[in-house]
Structure 1
């Protein structure tokens, strides 16, 4: 079996590659990063280190790598691959779909009909639909029908973390990466209709995938955003330190209660399933072996404060369920004051807040009325953070 991984970051070359290598699958990488391509060419192998369990480390070797714009490489790849995995970030799916669509069209023009399974591994609400729409936007109606008859586009939920090297663990190989000791990749099995489900260890092809993506985003992403934004205000650098902080921990516990009740009500998932999601998430973020920076989690606050994203989305769900999302609102208040100087989006957010005020942020960035119940909860959160002296500036 041969697989293609598009995206050579921590999840792509780390988590996904280690699962495939353990299944003795040949791996080809595609990425936009030219420096990464040079490193793939320079090194014949690298190690995926498992945090807290070195016996599970996996050596990745025998791979090939190509730049995403290499049309010759695509011409070969589309006809040889059995599965394509994407790990590029949800906001890049449209441009990636355009690239795949154009290369698929070129293959059809040569009389070839590539057939494979495409699995998104993105932290995104509708990754498979977004990618398929972008691919098909490049195809004629006839070509689109061929694509739909020969390619299954489905989606996975990534619940494992990939991190940079823990302190003191750096190696001479820049490709080495570190992942959580977690070995399950749930995949939406119902969307695989033209092919047999691959017989791969660690892959769970679930025909009742249902709302799992939304559960993941509104459990993991919401809770880690709470940890990161509050931790940033307190001057804490790492996620685990913030999650275990005696002042943040009770807010986190309250946040999980709000999230759980909101998702059980709004998504119709079982209470048992949701509690399991939150238990796994909390254990991950409190694990000191997983070294991750709060500024990495907090970056791009303009997107993360959007109306249907990880903070405002579940807060609105909670209100619909008759729950007051005090902890989520406090996290949102902290996010509004995320001003990390190396993040352009954070700098832009700071400028809007300082020149136009919090109400403008709430209305234009968060998409909520400045006098709404949720807006007032967030403003109460800002006042509380100032009382705690976690926000030290004066408006």
Structure 2
């Protein structure tokens, strides 16, 4: 079986690429980083450090790589059995045109074998959004064939893969945590679902998407923003501060109440999941920066993302949200000169004011009472009174 994977970064190599290779699938990476591409193409393997209580180094074999600007990308899409991505939400639209060209080439070659495309991104229904972008470049008369032969499969992915510097200067070496979760919507697959250890097909994908978004992503972001606010460099050091941990755990419990109401989750099992997430944040082998995890605050304050979406759920079910509000205020206070979105966010607040900026980004009505609460929390943080 052959797979084409867009994105040869840490997540691509350390998570999705590794699971595919471990399943005996030949993986060809597509990326813009020529140095990484050349090294993979030369060695056809790379090391992955899986760190935790029982740390190991595993070698990923049976891999190749091509540059994303190469016409080979289109040729590969015409012939492979699976396409996956780990490029970041902003990049999906950029790869859509080449993906469409490859699918058209597949049609022209009368390759009627099913092809499934899975976007493994930190976003809700990322593959469905990718499909919308791809279909902009597909002639209408081919839509029926595409819908019959090409599966666009949504997924939820969860593995912490922080930037890590190789001690021996190996640009392909990557470090990942022991835990990983890759859940796919089996109802969107066309043809047989391949047996890949670590990939779990489910009927109710949105329950798992929101469980991860409302727990891992919500908690991770709030840990980062409160840590950065308190000049703490790493997620581990931040979560070990009792005052931060209390807010993070409280926010995950508030968002958890939404999940319990919405999906009938078992409260005890969900609390155990929250505790597992907190343990992962504490992993001493993962040196993950608060600045990195907090990046792109405008995206993370959007109505469908990790801070505001669970907050909207607390409105829906009339639940408490005090800790979520603290996390949102911390995100609004996130000023990192190395982050374009953080600079833009600060500029908007200066020009339009906190309330208008937050409402524009989040979509929350300006007359909602929580807006004033967020402003008060934000102002307290600005005056270092939090």
Residue 156 of structure 2 aligns to a residue in which SS? Answer: coil
Matched, 1:174 2:168: no
- Look up the match of 1:334: 330
For 1:273 and 1:66, how far apart are their aligned partners in 2? 43
- Look up the match of 1:116: 115
Residue 57 of structure 1 aligns to a residue in which SS? Answer: strand
Residue 119 of structure 1 aligns to a residue in which SS? Answer: strand
- Look up the match of 1:164: 163
For 1:276 and 1:16, how far apart are their aligned partners in 2? 26
- Look up the match of 2:93: 94
- Look up the match of 1:228: 224
Greater shift in the superposed pair: 49-58 or 8-17: 49-58
Q: Which of 188, 205, 216 is the equivalent residue of 1:191?
A: 188
Map 1:129-148 onto structure 2 (within 5 A). 129-148=128-147
- How much does 1:340 deviate? 0.4
Cα distance per residue 1:180-237 (max 9 Å; x no partner): 1024422221211x31111222222223334211221122111111101010000001
- How much does 1:163 deviate? 1.5
For 2:5 and 2:353, how far apart are their aligned partners in 1? 43
For 1:326 and 1:334, how far apart are their aligned partners in 2? 13
- How much does 1:276 deviate? 4.6
- Look up the match of 1:291: 287
Cα distance per residue 1:125-172 (max 9 Å; x no partner): 111211222222222233222222222221222111111227xx5332
Cα distance per residue 1:324-372 (max 9 Å; x no partner): 3111111111111111001111111112223332122222223233442
- Look up the match of 1:83: 82
Q: TM-score, normalised by structure 1?
A: 0.90
- How much does 1:111 deviate? 4.2
- Look up the match of 2:320: 324
Matched, 1:304 2:303: no
Cα distance per residue 1:222-255 (max 9 Å; x no partner): 1111101010000001111111112211111211
- How much does 1:119 deviate? 1.6
Structure 2 residue ranges without an equivalent (≥5): none
For 1:261 and 1:184, how far apart are their aligned partners in 2? 22
- Look up the match of 1:380: 376
Structure 1 residue ranges without an equivalent (≥5): 391-395
State whether residues 316 and 374 of structure 1, in contact with CA within 8 Å, keep that contact through their aligned partners in structure 2.
no
State whether residues 362 and 369 of structure 1, in contact with CA within 8 Å, keep that contact through their aligned partners in structure 2.
no
Q: Which of 323, 347, 352 is the equivalent residue of 1:351?
A: 347
Q: TM-score, normalised by structure 2?
A: 0.92
Q: 1:84 to 1:164 in 2, by over 3 A?
A: same
State whether residues 3 and 28 of structure 2, in contact with CA within 8 Å, keep that contact through their aligned partners in structure 1.
yes
Q: 1:32 to 1:273 in 2, by over 3 A?
A: farther
Q: Which of 197, 203, 224 is the equivalent residue of 1:201?
A: 197
For 2:180 and 2:328, how far apart are their aligned partners in 1? 32
Greater shift in the superposed pair: 351-360 or 264-273: 264-273
State whether residues 118 and 152 of structure 1, in contact with CA within 8 Å, keep that contact through their aligned partners in structure 2.
yes
Residue 183 of structure 2 aligns to a residue in which SS? Answer: strand
Q: 1:187 to 1:321 in 2, by over 3 A?
A: same
Greater shift in the superposed pair: 218-227 or 106-115: 106-115
For 1:348 and 1:73, how far apart are their aligned partners in 2? 35
- How much does 1:92 deviate? 2.3
State whether residues 7 and 86 of structure 2, in contact with CA within 8 Å, keep that contact through their aligned partners in structure 1.
yes
- Look up the match of 2:25: 25
- Look up the match of 1:393: none
For 2:16 and 2:361, how far apart are their aligned partners in 1? 34
State whether residues 215 and 277 of structure 1, in contact with CA within 8 Å, keep that contact through their aligned partners in structure 2.
no
- Look up the match of 2:12: 12
- How much does 1:386 deviate? 5.0
- Look up the match of 1:2: 2
Residue 242 of structure 2 aligns to a residue in which SS? Answer: coil
CA-based RMSD of the aligned residues comes to 2.3
Map 1:35-46 onto structure 2 (within 5 A). 35-41=35-41, 43-46=43-46
For 2:60 and 2:293, how far apart are their aligned partners in 1? 27
